[in-house]
């Protein structure tokens, strides 16, 4: 139990203190993934999605928000995930859209989600609302 709590704390603490460069480097490295990296037919994340994801990370850093963890998605995009004290927040960055969703931590119910195509909409509907306020 104590160990589980420690791991939870470490994960949340790391999410709030990581430097943007680490995440940016990680996202850049997705360009080197081979096609089929997920053991099925996922393509290499596109340069457009990689650039957009880095743009989000840098914007959040400038606003003083917490850093996400990043993963490639099977749709050729990048998933940015924030484990906040009370919320799971996720942003799927693809060639043509930013799809965000928010849920209470540890609960299946999604409390907000949306799809936008411009960075200012990401900032207004997702970053401002959940990352800056929550932080």
Contact criterion met (CB below 8 Å) for 50 and 28: yes
Backbone region of residue 64 per phi and psi (left: phi > 0; alpha: psi in -120 to 50; beta: other values): left
| 37 or 121: CB nearest other proteins | 37
Instruction: Give, rounded to a whole angstrom, the gap between the first and last alpha carbons of the chain.
Output: 26
Closest CA to 21 of 64, 67, 63: 67
Contact criterion met (CB below 8 Å) for 131 and 63: yes
| 36 or 55: CB nearest other proteins | 36
Stretch in the footprint of other proteins (CB under 8 A) among 56-64, 91-99, 116-124, 125-133: 91-99
| 18 or 59: CB nearest other proteins | 18
**Using CB under 8 A, which of 56, 84, 92, 131 touches other proteins?**
92
**Contact positions with other proteins (CB under 8 A) in 26-85:** 26, 37-43, 69-76, 79, 81
Total number of residues binding other proteins (CB under 8 A)? Answer: 40
Who contacts 26 (Cβ-Cβ below 8 Å, separation ≥6)?
A: 70
How far is it, in rounded angstroms, from Cα 79 to Cα 5?
A: 26
Position 115 contacts other proteins (CB under 8 A) = yes
Site residues, other proteins (CB under 8 A): 4-5, 7-8, 11, 14, 18, 22-23, 25-26, 37-43, 69-76, 79, 81, 90, 92, 94, 99, 101, 103, 106, 108-110, 113, 115
């Amino acid at each position: 139990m104590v160990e589980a709590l420690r791991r939870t704390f470490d994960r949340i603490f790391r999410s709030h203190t990581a430097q943007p460069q680490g995440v940016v480097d990680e996202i850049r490295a997705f360009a080197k993934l081979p096609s089929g990296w997920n053991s099925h037919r996922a393509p290499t994340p596109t340069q457009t999605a990689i650039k957009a994801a880095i743009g989000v990370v840098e914007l959040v850093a400038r606003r003083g928000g917490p850093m996400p963890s990043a993963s490639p998605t099977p749709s050729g995009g990048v998933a940015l995930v924030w484990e906040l004290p009370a919320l799971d927040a996720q942003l799927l960055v693809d060639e043509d859209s930013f799809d965000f969703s928010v849920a209470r931590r540890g609960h299946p119910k999604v409390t907000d989600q949306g799809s936008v195509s411009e960075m200012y909409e990401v900032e207004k509907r997702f970053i401002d609302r959940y990352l800056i306020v929550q932080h």
